[in-house]
Amino acid sequence: MSHSRIIHGLVAGIAIGALALSTAASAEKWDMPMAYAATNYHSETGEQFAQCVTRGTGGDIEIVTHPSGSLFKGGDIKRAVQTGQAQIGERLMSGHQNENAVFGFDSVPFLATSFEDSARLFDAARPTMENLLDEQNLVMLYAVPWPPQGLYFNKEVNQVADMKGLKFRSYNNATARLAELTGMLPVTIEAAEISQAFATGVAESMISSGATGYDRKVWESLSHFYEVDAWLPYNYIMVNKDVWNDTSDANRNVISACARLAEYAGTWRAREYTGFTMAGLREGGMTVAPAGDTLVGELKAIGETMTKEWLEAAGDDGKAIIEAYNASR
């Protein structure tokens, strides 16, 4: 049986099993803003999660997804959920690094460069993240990784010196700092605006997964993708804590079960999507290859600097995460 059939079967099983548990309370609508395109696997996973909850609660809770930043832009989603403007939402975890450096644990260069190591790092960080979000009136339901991050350019790049002066799309503190250390110029651009930014020259390069490049057809403006496997950032689904506390135990059990399924399904999609998107970038006409030894060596030296800076900024919490991660390897 294929993974997709297993996933759909599990969704149906949760829904059928939960109908007996659903309460007679009046139906609630939960708006779920998301920053990425509806066709992105994070958004597809979120949509299936929403359907699982809606069916599983017998319609007590209807989750309505709003992809592509259509309800709130990516940078505004967390605040919207914290303040109750939206009941639930999805956001890039490291997008909050300017609030607290610990949020950037998944964007420390070359710390965790595979799906296996990324999962261990996330497990090490999860208790700290849950406590931090709890203090901010949020509950984390599930999280899904992006594929390994690579570098996009509109020219051949063999060394860091070749990157100097380029306008570089930044999406968190780590990417902005990477731009500074390589002599590039960071420009903050949300995922939904990537295609236009490259087409108009607002940005000329970025570090991102093959998934983002494929979704946004960046081959229309860019020519090269270098696999450097710098890190695997996470998107996570959060719910307003007051809303969560007002939800019945039966419905919370359904939501938690759907969340576990979504985390499994989304992570499987991330793995499968990696090879698919690499092939898609090539088909679009891009040169896709591992970065050369010189460039990798220079980037790893920059990564060491960024790791030291992150540990200083993240303090004891950051140190504890790294120690727990290293102990799990």
* Eight-class DSSP state of 202: S
Position 3 scores a pLDDT of 53
Position 7 scores a pLDDT of 55
Alpha-carbon gap, residue 243 to 230, rounded angstroms = 37
Position 13 scores a pLDDT of 54
Position 322 scores a pLDDT of 95
Alpha-carbon gap, residue 27 to 196, rounded angstroms = 40
Amino acid 47 reads: E
**Domains in the chain, ordered, with CATH?**
3-146+234-275 (3.40.190.170), 150-230+286-328 (3.40.190.170)
CB neighbours of 200 closer than 8 A, spacing ≥ 6? none
Q: How many residues does the chain have?
A: 329
Question: For the CA atoms of 196, 202, 203, 209, what is the dihedral angle to 10 degrees?
Answer: -30
Q: Establish how many alpha carbons lie within 13 A of residue 17's alpha carbon, considering only the half-sphere containing its beta carbon.
A: 12
Full pLDDT tens readout for the chain, 329 residues? 455 555 555 555 554 444 444 444 468 999 999 999 999 999 999 999 999 999 999 999 999 999 999 999 999 999 999 999 999 999 999 999 999 999 999 999 999 999 999 999 999 999 999 999 999 999 999 999 999 999 999 999 999 999 999 999 999 999 999 999 999 999 999 888 999 999 999 999 999 999 999 999 999 999 999 999 999 999 999 999 999 999 999 999 999 999 999 999 999 999 998 999 999 999 999 999 999 999 999 999 999 999 999 999 999 999 999 999 999 98
Identify the three-state secondary structure at position 285. coil
CB neighbours of 206 closer than 8 A, spacing ≥ 6? 151, 152, 168, 169, 175, 189, 194
Alpha-carbon gap, residue 235 to 91, rounded angstroms = 5
